Every structure is written in structure tokens, then in C-alpha cells.
Amino acid sequence: MITDVRTQLEHQQPYSPAYEQLLEKVRYEGVYPTVERAEEAVRLVLAGLGRQLTGDERVDLAACLPLEAARALTAQIPDTQPLTGWAFVKDLAARSGASLATSRWDTGSVFADVTAHAGPDLITRILHQLPTGYSLLFGRAELAPAA
């Protein structure tokens, strides 16, 4: 009962203008029918990313995002075994009950806006920390190391 009241109160509180802009951009770029659907994607993907990132990259990314988005990211305890990019998408699909294609779409839509907030240098640092397969999710080419 208390949780229900808290949830209702949280939804009644207005979001910061920066978070509203983030949601609107994700809604537009992801072609979501509503801001609420965009917010579902943002929360799901940022929570998933929060389970993958550690250290300075996690702190620096949270500092770049609007407070509501940073909370979704940092509320998660990082996993001890990081997931590859493909396993990340499969994990999101399993948690949300969505298809793999929808989860991949959600990830790309949210990561595009995360990239805009974080900038190329921080994204490069994040990609160096994560296992293979995330570059494409962030809209970058997946380059193999030279032999």
C-alpha cells in the first residue's frame, strides 16, 4: 500500500526540464507513440547499463545525465560478470518481456541520447570498459584490434 502511494506521488511530481527534453528526444528519435513509452525504454536501458558500468565511467556518465536518468543508472548494483552487447539486449528482453528486436531498438534509441549527453570521449572510455558488442549499440563501428 505504501509503495502504491509512493509510486503515485512520484508520478505526480513534475520532471526536470532536462529530463523532459531527454524523454522527448528519445520519443522522437525512437518513434515511440507516447512519452510514457519512451520513459519505459529510458528506465529499462539505463538500469541495464547501470548493471554493467563501474568506476569513474559510471560516475562521470551519471553526472552528464538529468537527475532522473542518473538515478535509473546508479540505482543498480553492477553485475560481477559483465554482459556482451548481445547478452545485454537479451537480458533487457527477458526482464521486460519484449522481443529481442524491440529491446535492440530501445537500446539504440536510448544510447543515442546518452551519447549526446556524454560526448564522444566519455563514450569511448565506456566502450573500453565494456565487453565486445556495445559499439554498435552506441551507433559506432565495432572495430577489431589489429593482429
What does the pLDDT look like over 28-71, one tens digit per residue? Answer: 999 999 999 999 999 999 999 999 999 999 999 999 999 999 99
- Give the C-alpha separation, 12 to 57, whole Å: 32
| DSSP result, 29-85 | HHT-SSHHHHHHHHHHHHHHHHTT--HHHHHHHHHHS-HHHHHHHHTSPPPSSPPPH
Exposed/middle/buried for 71, CB within 10 Å: 0-12, 13-18, 19+? middle
Give me the pLDDT at residue 147, please: 58
Banded pLDDT at 142 (limits 50, 70, 90):
confident
Q: Which of 50, 33, 45 is nearest to 112 (CA)?
A: 45
Span 83-100, average pLDDT: 97
Give me the pLDDT at residue 141, please: 86
Residue pair 35/11 in contact by the 8 Å Cβ criterion? no
* pTM, full prediction: 0.87
